Structure 1
Amino acid sequence: MMTTETDWRPLAAALTEEISHEVSLSPEWREAFEQTPRHRFVPEVPLEAAYQDESIVIKTINDRGFDWPTSSSTKPSLMAYMLMMLRLEDDHTVLEIGTGSGYNAALLCDRLDAASVAAFDLGPKQVASIDLDPDLVAAAEQRLLSIGRGPDLIAGDGRKIAFPGRAFDRIIVTAGARRVPAAWAEQLNDGGMIVTDLGGRSQPRIIRLTKEADGRLLGKFRHRPGWFMPLRPDAGHPAEDPGNPNGALDLTGETRLTNPPVPPVFLDEAHTGLAFAVDFFLQPTMLVDQLRDGSPGVLITTEDGSWIEIDPNGNTTTAGPTSLAEPLEQITSEWKRLNEPEDADLRLIVTPDDAHTLYAHDFEHRWEEPQA
């Protein structure tokens, strides 16, 4: 049976009900998901597909013969999880970093009843959003206007000041971040909150950070990754670092055997805190649970071409200009010293001078960074 434009409301209601089994939605957010037509923001997909709890790629960039996804409409249940973490109040202002399709901005507008698009309403809106890709911003603006939503939109680098002279009560980031840019704290009111997916490429975790009066950001990681596409500097290129788009993939060269620096297997539920810390501190281009030959183990590569692999017996082989064995050993020793914390036991403090300090269990037990 063919579905039509008028059939979307039951589909939205069913999606909202599905989300509610995973995320405890407030009445306000339940209403927002039920009343926001997701299909209007992903017109390329069939109506019923738009109301599945799945992410939908909306743009790719071809580089070296491969279509790299650069933007998507986020999985609705993940979006709901992060929106609930915002602890949004009716009078709050919110900045979204990563406009994408515009669907999340529409949800925010509905939640805050910030739908005015009147020509005379020239002042700042409660909802603002920025995206690196001007084409996505233009398309999102038209789709938002078509349903009577008029947030402030701008094309630009989300790692920098989006709206000069303005500060927000909440910031939600729908892109992967390796570190918290100073501009985010600068745009946040005291007591305000940032919800973002933070960490390395392989083991990011969602965190809510609160801004203290002294300018510090304090937060606790959740046992949930966002797996967002990364923040990047160039709208025309899919990589975080256009000079090294595919990371360090040359796994040849002279190898050397070392003592085992980490447990033989640590990409599992028993070692979530350790895996996060390795990804957070080393920022590897690759952190996977198989060796070069495809057999079980752990393989780590870094930007400078260094790599290390650990087999199930704890034997490690490494090559490249930088030895990864020593920092891995230090990270593992710290994990053990801190009583083997899980990812949800980890805290973060970000200071105005851009220092990122990891803690375990509380803000008294600091995870010391590995030394080169």
Structure 2
Amino acid sequence: MRLIQARVRCVAGVRDSGWFVPGRKTTVLYGEPGSGKTALLRALQTLNPPYAIERLMPLADHPETWQQQGHSRRVIPGKKTAVCMVFSAKAEQIPLLVKIDPALFETDRIEVGRRLDHSRWTTFVEIAASARWADIRKEMTRLQEKMQGRIGLPEFRLAGGLRENDRLKGEIGSQCLKWLQAIAPLVPSELAATHAVCLTAVERRERFYKAEQQVAEWLPLTLHLCPEDLIADRFLPDFANGDASAVAAQLARNFLQIAGSLGQDVAAARFALMREDNRPLAKLFSDKGLGGDPDLQWLDGELQIGQSPRNECARRCWYIGLVCQLAGLVRDGRPLLLLDGFDAGLQSEEKAEMMGFLQRLGEWCQVLSATSDRLLAKQEGWHACLSIGVKTLEQGGRVNVMT
């Protein structure tokens, strides 16, 4: 799945980014120091993070009130979406969704949001996930009239109290389904088609729920990385243990949990698949002479990696490569990388080398890279150039196309 639109609002450090459109492969986000780039990337990571979101609760420190159209309203976490992303499904994914429900052929756009209470929702753009009472009112009425008085059949009591636009979900959907299932053995052949129409409509929400579960498996990991994760190699050599919060450590722990629950054979198979998928990434390191291929190994039930390069630019590239490999171990598909200031503190030549590396990395996975260097953001090669306005995101600034 590819990210095609995103928005963050009502979180610590970001009032409302507005909708912004990333590039197909690479995006650079320019903003002065303190403009809110880091807060934005951290919030974006919460959509599908490498950690257990209910444990860390990253959105808990949200504003208590929300300003909209000059009015102040109390924030209700369970009703307020903080992070929203729209994805384009891959061509090979659409037929799999259509098998679940033919209506899903109508769109390849999937919207996923994270609320302030850390719950997540999914919708298929322009397709309702449940039918309305109006869609089957005539059919249900006909069934009621024909089945009325049959001994042992429950009476359908909801019909009189339903409105045309009531959705067939929740308690309404449950009651309709129970009645349709109860009468199924006694429905005469001339009403079989009518019964099938009603049942299909009522079960639509359940089918869409299955489709949403499938989408959850396809969602790319959203990974916020910053050079500070590398200070003193704090996740090395025993980087999978302890309480290290660096993304590499979190991913390593996730994989060890998979190995522990599913067994060493499954872990070895996943490692082999990751190696195959990462061939283009390994080639990127070798072709450019970065000397920083992480060379991750799975030996005797342990993850092992070599020492990172001494050169700071190569060392940062090495860390990004390591995270990409680890992400491939815990989830099928490639991650969405949210890179935070990877050019900071480098010499001019190294900065250009780093940005070139990130642009090439976009051939392997989607990259959103934040920088405080306007000249680097303006250099050619990015698929989209975005910037934060004069106001910081905390002050109400927006993410716009860079001019």
Q: Please state which band the TM-score falls in when normalised by the shorter chain.
A: under 0.3
TM-score (ref. length: structure 1): 0.23
* Structure with more helix by fraction: 2
Q: Which has the higher contact order (CA 8 A, sep 6+)?
A: 2
TM-score (ref. length: structure 2): 0.22
* Structure with more strand by fraction: 1
